[in-house]
Amino acid sequence: MASYLNADLHCHSVASDGTLTPEALAQRAKSAGVELWALTDHDEVSGQQRAMAAARAQGLPYLTGVEISITFAGQTVHIVGLGFDASDTRLVEGLRQTRGGRGERAREMSAQLAQAGIPGAYEGALKYVGNPELISRTHFARYLVEAGVCSDTNEVFRRFLTEGKPGYIPHRWATLGDAVDWITRAGGLAVIAHPGRYKFTPNEEYALFSEFKQHGGRGVEVVTGSHLPSEYVKYADMAMEFDLAASRGSDFHSPDESRIDLGALPYLPGQLIPIWELLSERIHH
């Protein structure tokens, strides 16, 4: 039965917020008896070539992966993409904007501060930043102190850059439609990551699954590191109700932090269609 494959299709490397390299993860997955593996870094596909090469060297079948941050009903939700072309330009550019929405946001913050009588804040903040894509409120705060507008960064955040004050612009993630579209057009399948972790009402959760399905989403993580056994049952039922394939992944980040190691999850419930059955053509051997 395909359900009884030890697939681990959710984990993170140093390319996002994990502590191991793609090569070390491939080795760890192989040693743990994983039979199909995917690296799914947050909003980032820069580790994919290394992961694929490392998996091939270990004789470990591999699917490309990513975990995209979106905003839905006011919460951050994660959508995993599997089996896509990691060099697809629309996907790569969409992820870059999701990560680098900070640059655009910084210019909007600067424009608001200028209206409040503080010109040149963007250029000022840039002096404190190594990578302009990662510019943040902290860099603006340091500049406002240097410029003598405030005596310290605490005062900056009391008077500026926080909700309701000049210079506050929230970070905007991608939308559900964007994320599913990028993955699908790049030849992959979109999966709702660890649905049990979100604090949705039953109605909001139903809306997430319905809209995901309307946008062309194809799967849901049923067995994952953060789910309780009761949630395996709940999301197995939801997978069947919404005609979604089931995925399985540890969400492993680090040997020291993660609750469940690579390859250590229970198998998928047998009545579900495993997502990898729909991706058999996309598996790298």
Mean pLDDT of 266-276: 93
pLDDT beyond 70 at 145: yes
Give residue-wise pLDDT tens across range 199-215: 999 999 999 999 999 99
Residue 72 has a pLDDT of: 93
What Cα–Cα distance (Å) separates residue 257 from each residue in 191, 252, 261? 24, 8, 10
d(CA 177, CA 183): 10
Residue 270 has a pLDDT of: 82
Contact call for residues 202 and 230 (beta carbons, < 8 A): no
Residue of 28 and 132 predicted with greater confidence? 28
What Cα–Cα distance (Å) separates residue 264 from each residue in 19, 178, 258, 259? 19, 32, 11, 10
Mean pLDDT of 264-279: 94
Give residue-wise pLDDT tens across range 32-67: 999 999 999 989 999 999 999 999 999 999 999 999
Give the pLDDT band of residue 133 (cuts 50, 70, 90).
low
pLDDT beyond 80 at 134: no
The token pair at 250 is 């540890």
Residue 283 has a pLDDT of: 97
Q: At what angle do helices 137-146 and 89-115 cross, to 10 degrees?
A: 30
d(CA 160, CA 104): 18
pLDDT beyond 60 at 190: yes
Give residue-wise pLDDT tens across range 88-104: 999 999 998 888 777 78
Give the pLDDT band of residue 130 (cuts 50, 70, 90).
low
Residues pairing with 220 in the sheet: 192, 246
Q: Please indicate, yes or no, whether the overall pTM of this predicted structure exceeds 0.85.
A: no
